[in-house]
Amino acid sequence: MPVRPANFADLLPAAHVCAKAFFDEDLFGIKIHPNRSAFPGEMYLFFLRLLRSDFFDGRTRILVSHPKDQLNSITGVAVWIRKGPGGDRMAASQSWLAWFTGRFIIPAYNYLGSLVWPNRAADPAMLDVLDRAMPFTEHYWKTPERLENWYLSVLGTAPEYQGHGYGKELLQWGIERAAEEGICVSLVSANNKDGFYKRHGVDQEAGYGTEGGEENPIHDVAGGMILFSKKLGK
């Protein structure tokens, strides 16, 4: 299945793919968007603003899948983040214009957009829940053998295209990059999706993103298994 780097124009259709893929998922759907049934057409705004920020992050690569010979028909999206010192070097090498856009223009654009087009499907108190939950599990990424890794932040396939291999190809992109560098892959699995990742070699269970008791704002979310691959390639 064809996979290519996303361009800025892909972000809107990719956001709609994510909204459909995660509509009833425990974290992005139920936890962050409890009002999605009343405002089903607005959940995409969460992903659009997230993808805009990721697009200008030098550590991040956004990939989209599409049917053969249909470059503009987006079937799936993956957001890969290069963690560790290697990611720092990637960020340092990006152009000053990309850095400035990501640091100042996009946050302002997203903020103004949230005033004009609010995401009524979301609970405003949950929009930053991932950032608040991170301190409870970030230690899993700080061990010497896991410090350098490609982290799969988002993987979503439109429901009508699921089961056709698009998700596998989007996952494979990061596995191949990790193999080229001799590092590992990491991710936090949605509920009941860990079997998919384990079948493709991301099978080392480390813990759960929901750890830490009630202080962790996602402690009551189903799933969240933290998975790593072994060091790949070299």
Q: What is the rounded distance in angstroms from the CA atom of residue 204 to the CA atom of residue 213?
A: 23
Query: Averaged over 203-207, what is the pLDDT?
Result: 97
Superfamily of domain 3-228: Gcn5-related N-acetyltransferase (GNAT) (3.40.630.30)
Q: What's the pTM value of the predicted model, to 2 decimals?
A: 0.96
Q: Is the pLDDT of residue 203 over 90?
A: yes
The rounded distance, in Å, linking the Cα atoms of 158 and 76 is 6
In angstroms, the CA 234 to CA 44 distance is 39
Q: Residue 70: its pLDDT value, please? A: 81
Residue 234 pLDDT greater than 80, yes or no? no
Q: For the range 199-208, what are the long-range contacts, defined as Cβ-Cβ under 8 Å and sequence gap of 24 or more?
A: 200/168, 200/171, 200/172, 200/175, 201/175, 201/229, 201/230, 201/232, 202/171, 202/175, 202/227, 202/228, 202/229, 203/227, 203/229, 204/228, 204/229, 204/230, 206/140, 206/146, 207/137, 207/140, 208/137
pLDDT tens digits for 17-36? 999 999 999 999 999 999 99
Whole-number mean pLDDT of the chain? 96
Q: Bridge partners of 187? A: 152, 227
| pLDDT beyond 70 at 181 | yes
pLDDT surpassing 80 at residue 10: yes
